[in-house]
Every structure is written in C-alpha cells, then in structure tokens.
Amino acid sequence: DAKTTQPPSMDCAEGRAANLPCNHSTISGNEYVYWYRQIHSQGPQYIIHGLKNNETNEMASLIITEDRKSSTLILPHATLRDTAVYYCIVRVQKLVFGQGTRLTINP
C-alpha cells in the first residue's frame, strides 16, 4: 500500500472550512483514497473515499488532484465536535494507518 504524508497538526476556527491536505505520490491506479477520523478513545469513523473523481457527502468533500498524487479533505463548516485525528489512507485491500493530522477546532 502506498505511503501518505500529512501535517501532524492543524488548527481551524469554528464555522470556517477546514482543509486537510494529504500527499500520496506513490499511489497506484487501483488504490482508493480513504479518509477516517478518530475522536479520543473511540473507534475510527469513516468519512469519505474516492478513486479519481472528487466526492462529496453529508460530512465532507474530497478533492483528488488529476495526477492523484495528493488530495484534500474539506469540512465545510467546522464545529467543535470535528476536533479529532484525521487519517488519510490509500487502500487496495487493508487499511494501514499512518500518524494522521490532529485537527483542533477553536471557538
């Protein structure tokens, strides 16, 4: 599975859009980009995934660059409950977690 690189931490003001970047320059053609988040002492929560096209659901939007070497997760209107560790993972079969980005939403 390809490796991903994420900033270790980010801050965002409540009500603003949170944009979380992820680099996956060695991604192969059949690997999906997945995003999960983990709130302290809970199991990871699925957010969104995509292969080539941009995706949007009720939680977030996923923007994948045309060369697929990077992606951005967008939380359009961040709330305090969005404070969590966000994991970007490229996957063929199994999810292998990196260190993720610790996102803190500030009031």
Partner 1 sequence: GAVVSQHPSWVICKSGTSVKIECRSLDFQATTMFWYRQFPKQSLMLMATSNEGSKATYEQGVEKDKFLINHASLTLSTLTVTSAHPEDSSFYICSASRGPQGAYEQYFGPGTRLTVT
- Which residues contact partner 1 (rule: CB under 8 A)? 30-32, 34, 36, 38, 41-46, 49, 87, 91-100
Closest CA to 103 of 10, 7, 6, 5: 10
Minimum distance of partner 1 from residue 34's CB (angstroms): 8
Q: Which residue has the tokens 């969590």?
A: 84
Minimum distance of partner 1 from residue 105's CB (angstroms): 20
The upper half-sphere exposure of residue 17, i.e. CA atoms within 13 Å in the direction of its Cβ, equals: 9
Rounded CA gap, 76 and 97, in Å?
24
For partner 1, the closer of residues 80 and 96 by Cβ is 96
Minimum distance of partner 1 from residue 22's CB (angstroms): 15
